Amino acid sequence: MTGRERLLQRIFSGRSDAGIRFDELRGLLRNMGFAERIKGSHHTFRKQGMVGKINLQRDGSNAKPYQVRQIRKVIRESGLDGGS
């Protein structure tokens, strides 16, 4: 199992939203084809063909839990989860 698969498994389990590292989540989104724009502490991600954007901010070294939940929803609704 790759690091990306393990991270997706943790995100979709919903048990560790507060424990997802910001840099891992950022790397995952970039790896999934999202373009990143950084303005101050805000990291904004957009993807061709998707309406809206994803905004991330650090909470120490982790991503904010509510943002992990938003990303889980976006990945599932857009079919980027590969049918998980």
pLDDT digits (tens, 9 = 90+) for 34-79: 999 999 999 999 998 887 889 999 999 999 999 999 999 988 887 7
CB atoms within 10 A of CB 71: 23
**Under 8 Å between Cβ of 41 and 58:** yes
Distance CA 76, CA 37 (A): 23
Domain coordinates of the chain in residue numbers? 3-78
pLDDT for res 77: 83
For the cut 70, the answer to whether the pLDDT of residue 13 exceeds it is: yes
3-78 topology per CATH:
Metal Transport, Frataxin; Chain A (3.30.920)
Residue 82 binned pLDDT confidence (cut-offs 50, 70, 90)? low
